[in-house]
Structure 1
Amino acid sequence: MADDGSAQTQAIWPLPKFHFQVKWDDTELAFQEVSGLDIETEVLEYRAGNSKVFSKVKMPGMIKSGNITMKKGVFAKDNAIFDWFKEIKMNTIKRKAITISLLDESQTPTMVWKVQNAFPVKITGTDLKAEGNEVAVESIEIAHEGLVIENA
């Protein structure tokens, strides 16, 4: 008898990436795209002078992460990202914790990225075209001091 799929579990299907939410402070903002959720470790190479092996030993060094870029549609009277950017003064900014969650069909977070001590470094407004019919999209680039990944 052919398998109709009724006995399959959700664990065999990868998660779609289009259903997610972004929260900072207690506010949820609707973003169209989030990129830059990466962390890596620097590779340190070392060779002792009395080593019998004529090659370097590689070991993990400091952890580093890139900036996160988020894009969203432009809405009338929605100034949340601009208001946060305006708070920047010489070496002072209100840093925020940002939570980015990949959601399943029941709106439950299945994978969560917790961004620590985030602050904006760049805002890009939309481009304007008299002959275009696309949605106006703005983006914000955020620097941070750490990324914790939790898989629920």
Structure 2
Amino acid sequence: MAGEAQDNIWPLPKFYFKVEVDGGIAASFQEVSGLDIESDVFEYRHGDSPNFSTIKMPGLRKSSDVTLKKGIFTGDVKFFEWFNEIKLNTIERKTVTIMLLNESGDSEIVWTLANAFPKQVQGTDLNSTSSDAAVETLVLAHEGLTVSTP
């Protein structure tokens, strides 16, 4: 019945999240993608193996670039400024924390990007016949993704 406590456990909705970038850059994002990790797989067979096949072994782990999209606001050029700091491999790398929140606003799942830096900043497309909001895209390269719970 309506108003009763639910005993069932439901998956968390994906629309309530928060992104924090250390060093004072904070923004509300519309979309985050690329939160995946994978491992290279290599095949090996030693010479005296009785099996007529290879075995598969895990190799180095790798993470995808993370893409963040957000609306453009008046005077908001923080990500372009961060990108413009890149000069001959001298960029301030930052820790980026992405938190999936519950209905109370508390984090349930936390993805942390280590040593992240902007790989690409893409401004919005402009179209005089559209009524869409202006959205910019930030692509972050990083050196590792960890997933944790608080």
Choose the corresponding residue for 2:86, options 68, 88, 93.
88
C-alpha offsets along residues 10-33 of structure 1, whole Å, 9 cap, x if unaligned? x61000000000000144311100
Residue 36, structure 1, aligned to residue 31, structure 2: no
Q: Distance in 1 between matches of 2:79 and 2:2?
A: 48
Q: Hey, what does 2:125 align to over in structure 1? A: 127
Q: TM-score, normalised by structure 1?
A: 0.93
Moved over 6 A (4+): none
Choose the corresponding residue for 2:134, options 114, 133, 136.
136
Residues 1-152 of structure 1 mapped to structure 2, 5 A cutoff? 6-9=4-7, 12-25=9-22, 26-152=24-150
C-alpha offsets along residues 67-125 of structure 1, whole Å, 9 cap, x if unaligned? 00000001000111111001000111000000000001111000000100000111111
* Contact 2:25/2:78 (<8 A) preserved: no
Q: Distance in 1 between matches of 2:90 and 2:20?
A: 22
Counting aligned pairs with the same residue, the percent is 52
Q: How far did residue 6 of structure 1 move?
A: 2.6
Q: Distance in 2 between matches of 1:114 and 1:136?
A: 27
* Contact 1:21/1:28 (<8 A) preserved: no
In structure 2, relative to structure 1, the CA distance for the partners of 1:14 and 1:5 (3 Å cut) is: farther
Q: How far did residue 7 of structure 1 move?
A: 4.2
**Structure 1 residue runs without a partner (length 5+):** none
Letter in 2 for 1:84: W
RMSD: 1.4
Q: How far did residue 151 of structure 1 move?
A: 2.5
* Contact 1:126/1:138 (<8 A) preserved: yes
**Structure 2 residue runs without a partner (length 5+):** none
